[in-house]
Amino acid sequence: MATHQPDSINKGADIAGTMLVFFFIGWFVDRQLNSTPWFMIAFVVLAAVAQFAKMYYVYNAQMERLEQQRRETVHSS
């Protein structure tokens, strides 16, 4: 279980970093257009949806790979 910790920390940092970057982009656009807080909210929601979609597709790809390895192991035995 300890071998998965660095990967989990990297994933968490990736999500948090992306959300912060999009937050500040939204903040900057809001300041330029004097429309606070609409772009901040929109960019954070966009970042959250994109990160969850990314996690979904990465997870599915990993599960497919592991399932294929399991099938190969079963058939070779």
pLDDT, tens digit (0-9, with 9 covering 90-100), for 22-71: 999 999 999 999 998 999 999 999 999 999 999 999 999 999 999 999 99
1 pLDDT exceeds 90? no
Domain span including residue 9: 2-76
Q: What is the pLDDT of residue 6?
A: 74
The packing angle between helices 38-76 and 5-33, to 10°, is 160
Q: What is the pLDDT of residue 76?
A: 85
Q: What is the pLDDT of residue 77?
A: 72
Q: How many domains does the chain have?
A: 1
First-to-last C-alpha distance (Å) of the chain: 27
Q: What is the pLDDT of residue 75?
A: 87
In this prediction, residue 2 has a pLDDT band, given cuts at 50, 70 and 90, of low
Alpha carbon 39 to its chain's center: 20
